[in-house]
Amino acid sequence: MFWNREMETISGEDLEALQLSRLKWTVHHSQNVEFYRRKFRDAGVTPDDIKTLDDVEKLPFTYKKELRDAYPFGNIAVPMKQVVRIHTTSGTTGKPTVVSYTRQDLDNWSELIARNLTMIGLTDEDVFQNAVNYGLFTGGLGFHYGGEKIGATVIPSATGNTKRQIEMIDDFGVTAIHCTPSYGMHLVEVAEEMGASLDSLRIGIFGAEPWSENMRKELETRLGVEAFDSYGMSEMYGPGAAFECPEHDGLHLWHDFYFAEIIDPETGERLPDGEKGELVITPLVKEAMPLVRYRTGDITRIIPDDCPCGRGRRLARISGRADDMLVIRGINVFPSQIEHTLLSIPEVGDQFMVYVDRINHLDEMTIEVEMNRESFSGELADLAGLQRKVAGAIKESLNLRTTVKLVALGSLPRFEGKARHVVDRRGEIW
Amino acid sequence: MWDPRAEEMPATELKRLQYRLLKTLVYRLYSFSDFYHARMREANVHPDDIRTLADITRLPFMYKRDLRDNYPDHLFTATQDELVRYHVSSGTTGKPTVVGYTANDLENWTASLARSLTACGLGRGDVMQVSYGYGLFTGGLGMHYGAERIGATVLPSSTGNTERQIELMQDLHVTAIACTPSYLVHIGETAEKMGVSIRDDTDLRIGVLGAEPWSEAMRTKLQDALGIRVYDIYGTSELSGPMFTECTEQNGIHLWGDLAYPEIIDPETGESLPAGEKGELVMTVLKKEALPMIRYRVGDVTVLNDEPCACGRTSPRIMRIQGRVDDMLIVRGINVFPSQVEHALMEIPEVVGSAFQIEVDRKGALDSMLVRVEMSPEAFSDKITDLMQIRGKVAHTLKSSLNVAAQVELMAPGALPRFEGKAQRVIDRRVY
Amino acid sequence: MAEKKYLIKQISIFSENKPGRLAAIAKALQEAGVNILAFSIAEANGFGVVRALVNKPDLAHTTLTDIGFMVSFTDVIAVAMRDEPGGLFEIARILGEAGINIEYSYAYSGKDGAVLILRVDQVEEGVEKILAAGGTLLDVSLFQ
């Protein structure tokens, strides 16, 4: 099924012409942003140098850091009164990255999610449980608007309260659910314990964190769904920028909205189709916050041949990161962020270790702390208070749940040279 | 005004419109809703008996327990393809309250808020921080849609992380905030600790405050301390969500007459009371499609004011909510029924579910709820970690059933007072 | 002030909840010639606090600190108890009536009779009330 057959299946010269005209518009539009004017000047290019799609290579890359440094509104290309929504993503230190939307941006974002949902067979007859975070995080509101657009019954269940989520699936006859794959596995286990049937459920949309083909099998058999992979990030509106079709062989990055390149992350050279490298995205219709050659940090490749479903070429599923970013329970975290938060707690000092494990399919973060001698009062209540303080600080700054263990002095590893306080023990998750 | 034709409609014309909408609603429900059909039959009233607007008093009441008894969707008068949203709030015992919406229901809810927010002086140029919880709770998404409709820039900051909220308020030039009154007090206090003056260091000028009771004294305090204007907003999830606010006159909440028909009754006898007298609010929502409401007993105590408002809007107003007719508590904007607490505790074998006490207090600006419950003698262990685990289990069960966190204190068997008849289980130490 | 001499230095030692930790503490104290007069363990989530009254608290502190333990001093009081029914009640009643809360407590019964060790929320008032009610508090000199 198609939501917008014309755009979904546009190909060949028509697609190239459309992409080129939109690319030209985007590049010109980007000049409303001071840092893009500067970047273009530094690179010695002007918007008029874009005459073919391949001319994109002349343009400078945009990095996440630049968006963050533009805080709060230095990356906006429209007058503030046209901005109708603001989301933020957590920052490495201190200030977050602000992403802004015009009304047209919100419409575009809902449109692409409506395409995704229609592509996998959802209609206004479906009951769609949106079990991801709402609020500043883009996952919740993004899929919410898309689900509403196709006329499905949307349950904004957000995260948490697993038992209630399962009761809702059974009581409301939920047919489709959107959550992180690890939360999907957790639902399976709690439902099995509760003896809930989850009979009505037929479609699972999983995104915001990497998941493997093994996990797909597990989710499909135990949750009783057909599982679909969803990809996106706040900088590209939010989740749902690329989505798996029923062929389950790669994701359609909506070609009328985004222009994709694969590069060698070391050299910045463009790689030919089929080769693995870092995904670089130039959105083609973004108004409030245009981006030029944005470095996503995600490793993938372009599958060169057309998909049998008729929607053209696909991106392979994400197979790694070009940097040390971790995805924990769907939240993107850099080890430096965790370290920064812990280092700011005086009782903790620099003696701590952070372990990320996957226990019962859920990501669990454990922080082992050797507290300072000076901070030890001898009172049990103070120790318990420190545990709460550390867990609270991580929750506040990164929105992550942790277990805090107090350990004896000298029991944590000491580092010569660069300290590695954060250890990911989840093994093969890509 | 957002919709002058509706907002300024002359009283007689409005009455005619209300009568027409009521008549249509009653016919529709008599024909298509098993529940209302049976209720009207029981009450020995037929749609043809409704000949004037005043005849509404012949129709039977609808109660919160009717929602529970018909869980989850037996009261809905829309098909699955027409339904576009569910919201869920905690109920009185066990099963939650579910509200379904059609696209028109969302439209009317949003339009109502667009009028209300405009009446508070908000518009396109504003940046509104929505600090209500998003998700199943109607506060967040409701205000979000309303603010989006009037063209304001919406910052969906949801709840939590107050320091970050204050930073964003400053940095993103937020001009209006929607939250509970106690949370705004908390924001004020936290800002002060951070060395930020809401008055001088931010662009905040308007607060739209609701989901819990507050007072004129609190309004004066907030307006003086923060240098902004604050407005009361009213609504419950059964009626769709937060829907109606005061206008800039700050003298009563405008209930849009083409959307809702309010009555005030004596909660004991069910008799209608004239405007100006205090009683229980009963609401008929005139255009609701998925979950229609005729004479719904909201349980809030207030006074109806049908004098014309200085702002020129003709719809009737309700004055500040002055209390409840039942024992419902509002903790951090979430409704909590003691019966629901009991129901949740009953599920835990390690405690005696019937022997509990709830203490609500306001520490600093925010509500805190403490639940004391007796342990069952068999569950006692001399390992403190076991006891902590039981306490954690009770806290977790309460949180999932009530959607609001409670502190838990385990008590020895027999330690709590026993009651004859209706138990006095709630100690509410808050002053509004 | 006079009450000072009844404030006894308890040592509190942080210990992870795993085998061998207590043995390590006891061995170190033995080697340093420190005698443990009274002792208890409080448990929590994954760790515990060992509390002890010793004859040489400063030496115990240094000894344990040197081998890497986290140690701190806490002021407690030690009350002589009649070693017969009602002995504990007398003391608890005095504190209870004065509105003084006992945070934790442990006891030993030795050759010189029974001793109750108390950590109370208002130490100085506690000392005062017990003395006023005719109770006997052990002098700090016994523990150093």
Distance CA A19, CA A21 (A): 6
CB atoms within 10 A of CB B155: 27
Interface contacts A/B by beta carbons within 8 Å = 110
What's the average pLDDT block by block, 10 residues per block, for chain A (430 residues)? 96 97 98 96 97 96 93 94 91 76 97 98 98 93 98 95 93 96 90 94 93 90 96 94 96 98 96 96 98 96 95 94 86 85 85 88 88 85 90 86 88 79 78
CA dist A126 and A174 (Å) reads 7
Q: Cβ of C67 under 8 Å from any chain A Cβ?
A: no
* Each residue's pLDDT tens digit, B199-234: 999 999 999 999 998 999 999 999 999 999 999 999
Shortest distance, CA C17 to any CA of chain B (angstroms): 12
A154 in B contact zone (CB under 8 Å): yes
pTM of the prediction?
A: 0.87
> Domain check: are A371 and A420 in the same one?
yes
What residues does each domain of chain C span?
6-74, 76-143
A314, part of any domain: yes
Option in A378, A406, A410 nearest C46 (CB) = A406
Instruction: Tell whether A340 is covered by a domain.
Output: yes
| pLDDT greater at residue A59 or residue B425 | A59
End-to-end CA distance of chain A: 30
Average pLDDT estimate for B348-374: 91
Position A350 scores a pLDDT of 80
Is residue A430 a part of any domain in this protein? Answer: no
pLDDT score recorded for residue B421: 60
DSSP string, B287-332: T--SS-EEEEEEEEEEEEE-SPPTTS--S-EE----EESS--EEET
Tell me the shortest Cα–Cα distance from A407 to chain C, in angstroms.
6
Instruction: Specify whether the CB–CB gap between A312 and A304 falls below 8 A.
Output: no
Q: What CATH code is carried by the domain that includes residue A364?
A: 3.30.300.30
Assess whether pLDDT exceeds 80 at residue B423.
Answer: no
Q: What residues of A are in contact with residue B98 (Cβ under 8 Å)?
A: 172
Which of B76, B130, B149, B168 best probes binding to A when mutated, by most A CB atoms within 10 angstroms? B168
For chain A, how many structural domains are there in total? 2
The highest-confidence range among B138-147, B359-368, C98-107, by mean pLDDT, is B138-147
Question: What's the half-sphere exposure (Cβ side, CA atoms, 13 Å) at B345?
Answer: 25
Same domain, A227 and A356: no
Give me the pLDDT at residue C2, please.
59
Interval B359-387 mean pLDDT: 88
CB contact under 8 A, A86 and B127: yes
Last residue of a domain, one of A273, A288, A323: A323
Alpha-helical runs (H) found in A173-278: 181-194, 213-223
Give which of C17, C45, C49 to mutate to test B binding, by max B Cβ within 10 Å: C45
Residues 6+ apart with CB under 8 A from A67: A75, A97, A235, A289
Q: Does the B334-428 domain belong in CATH 3.30.70.60?
A: no
C-alpha B193/C-alpha B290 separation (Å) is 47
- How far apart, in Å, are the Cα atoms of A204 and each of A191, A195, B353? 15, 20, 38
Query: Per the domain annotation, does A20 fall within a domain?
Result: yes
Greater confidence, A27 or C122?
Answer: A27
Tokens 């999983």, residue?
A206
Taking the CB of residue A79, how many other CB atoms lie within 10 A of it? Answer: 9
Average pLDDT of chain B to the nearest whole number: 94
Q: Which residues neighbour B393 within 8 Å (Cβ) at sequence distance 6 or greater? A: B348, B350
Chain B residue with Cα closest to A71: B171
Confidence bin at C1 (pLDDT 50/70/90): low
Query: Residues B413, B418, B421, B422: is their CA dihedral positive or negative?
Result: negative
pLDDT confidence of B348, banded at 50, 70, 90? very high
B388 interfaces chain C, CB cutoff of 8 Å = yes
DSSP, collapsed to helix, strand or coil, labels residue C91 as helix
Q: What percent of chain B has pLDDT over 70?
A: 99
Are residues A278 and A149 both part of a single domain?
yes
Q: Are A230 and A237 in contact (CB under 8 A)?
A: no
Q: Which domain holds residue A383?
A: 328-424
Asked if B85's CB is within 8 angstroms of A86's CB, the reply is: no
Q: Which residues of A touch B106 (CB under 8 A)?
A: 148
- Put simply, the answer to whether A373 touches C10 (Cβ < 8 Å) is no
Task: Dig out the tokens for B220 from the structure.
Answer: 């004066």
Q: Which chains touch A (3 or more CB pairs under 8 A)?
A: B, C
Least CA distance to C75: which residue of chain A?
A: A378
Q: Which of A275, A294, A323 is the last residue of a domain?
A: A323
Q: Which CATH architecture has domain C76-143?
A: 2-Layer Sandwich (3.30)
Comparing CA positions, the residue from A415, A331, A322 lying closest to residue A365 is A331
In the block, tokens 């093969």 appear at A428
Average pLDDT over residues B397-422: 85
Indicate the SS3 state at residue B353. strand
Helix H or strand E segment including C106: strand C102-110
Residues C40-79: tens digit of each pLDDT? 998 887 788 999 999 999 999 999 999 888 899 999 999 9
- Classified as helix, coil or strand, A204 is strand
With the C-alpha atoms ordered B290, B296, B302, B308, is the resulting torsion angle positive or negative? positive
Do A385 and A242 fall into the same domain? no
CATH of the domain at A145: 3.40.50.12780
Which contacts of A225-228 are long-range, i.e. CB under 8 A and separated by 24 or more positions?
A: A225/A177, A225/A201, A226/A120, A226/A202, A227/A181, A227/A184, A228/A120, A228/A203, A228/A204
Domain limits, chain B: 1-326, 334-428
Residue among A248, A313, A321 at smallest CA distance from A279: A321
Task: Out of A379, A387, A407, name the one closest to residue C16 (CB).
Answer: A407
Where among A274, A299, A323 does a domain terminate? A323
Q: Is A429 domain-assigned?
A: no
A76 touches chain B (CB under 8 A): no
How much is the pLDDT for A92? 47
Asked whether residue A226 falls in the same domain as residue A283, the answer is yes
Residue B354 or A231, more confident: A231
Q: How far is the C-alpha of B223 from the C-alpha of B245, rounded, in Å? A: 17
Residues 6+ apart with CB under 8 A from B198: B169, B187, B188, B191, B204, B225, B226, B227, B228
What is the four-CA torsion angle of A334, A399, A158, B300, rounded to 10 degrees?
A: -160
**Per CATH, which fold does C6-74 belong to?**
VC0802-like (3.30.2130)
Average pLDDT over residues B256-263: 96
Nearest to B74 by CA among B29, B26, B35: B35
Q: How does pLDDT run across B102-135, given as a tens digit for each residue?
A: 999 999 999 999 999 999 999 999 999 999 999 9
Closest approach of chain B CAs to the CA of C4, in angstroms?
33
Cβ atoms of A315 and A231 within 8 Å: the answer is yes
Indicate whether A284 and A350 sit together in one domain: no
Does A25 share its domain with A167? Answer: yes
Please give the average per-residue pLDDT across B243-270, as a whole number: 97
Summarised one tens digit per residue, pLDDT across range B161-178 is 899 899 999 999 999 999
Instruction: Work out the pLDDT band at B154, boundaries 50, 70, 90.
Output: very high
Residues A46 and A194 in one domain: yes
B275 contacts: CB under 8 Å, gap ≥ 6? B264, B303, B304, B305, B306, B316
Q: Which fold has domain B1-326?
A: Rossmann fold (3.40.50)
